[in-house]
Copies of this chain bind each other. A is one copy, B any other.
Amino acid sequence: MPATPHVEKHFLGSETVRDVVIGMSDGLTVPFALAAGLSAAVSSTRVIVTAGLAEIVAGAIAMGLGGYLAARTDQEHFESEERREAYEIAHMRKLELSEVRDIFAGYGLSGAPLETVVNAVASDEKRWVDFMMKFELGLEKPDPKRAPISAATIAASYFVGGLIPLLPYMLASDLKTALLVSIMCTGVALLVFGAVKGRLTGVNIVKSSLQTALVGGLAAGAAFYLASLFG
């Protein structure tokens, strides 16, 4: 299952930072939109807090455990493809040789230099399998130790992100104040989070900041409108 986001080598943060970004991205948006939406339909902050907490815990488990299983599946998928390549190299040598040839021919090699490279890659079967995994299939070997840490980081970030829009509903005395404080706190959090995300991916910080806040605002606005139809 190709559900694990592809890790780019030039990504300027660590893998942990990336997991925090993934979890917090949805954690800040969906619980915020749900709480804002519900405030158009119900009059009790208790219902909103209950729904919000139920959503946060469900979302954190779905993202964390779902991500863990996706990583495990990526691992199994990688191993089954690796076995297949090893089998093909052992039993369909000519076909695999021509695949290596095609890859390097695409970079302008031909004649004797091409054959030299093809023979060099094919001279060691283990290295040949590694080459096919990376350059034919574009698969990187997943790190089995990362999956549980990654899952826990994503789930915790979703949870923490989700608490930011919900806290005002837990603390404020009336619904209107809670909604306004939630919009302000989450708006600031989305702008800051978007800027950090932009910094980490090397794209324009202001643009990333505004886009991230826009997604949260649109989601909340749509949820508010829909819920108000039922309110």
Q: Which of A33-91 contact B (CB under 8 A)?
A: 33-34, 37-38, 41-42, 46-47, 49-51, 53-55, 57-59, 61-63, 65-66, 69, 73, 76-77, 80-81
| Complex Cα–Cα for A103 and B223 (A) | 51
The count of residues in chain A whose C-beta lies closer than 8 Å to any C-beta of chain B is 88
**A140 neighbours in B (Cβ, 8 Å):** 138
Q: How far is the CB of A185 from chain B (nearest CB, A)?
A: 17
Interface assignment of A208: CB less than 8 Å from any CB of chain B: yes
Contacts A9-B137, A21-B1, A29-B62 given: A77-B201 contact, CB under 8 Å? yes
Residues of B within 8 A of A136 (CB): 9
- A-side residues, CB < 8 A to B, are 1-11, 18, 21-22, 25-26, 29-30, 33-34, 37-38, 41-42, 46-47, 49-51, 53-55, 57-59, 61-63, 65-66, 69, 73, 76-77, 80-81, 104, 107-109, 112-113, 116-117, 120-121, 123-124, 127, 130-131, 134-140, 197, 200-203, 208, 211-212, 215-216, 218-220, 222-224, 226-227, 230-231
Complex A-B: 24 CB contacts under 8 Å: A1-B197, A2-B8, A3-B25, A26-B63, A26-B66, A30-B62, A34-B51, A34-B54, A37-B57, A47-B47, A49-B230, A53-B226, A55-B55, A57-B222, A57-B226, A58-B220, A61-B219, A61-B222, A73-B203, A76-B203, A108-B124, A108-B127, A109-B116, A113-B120
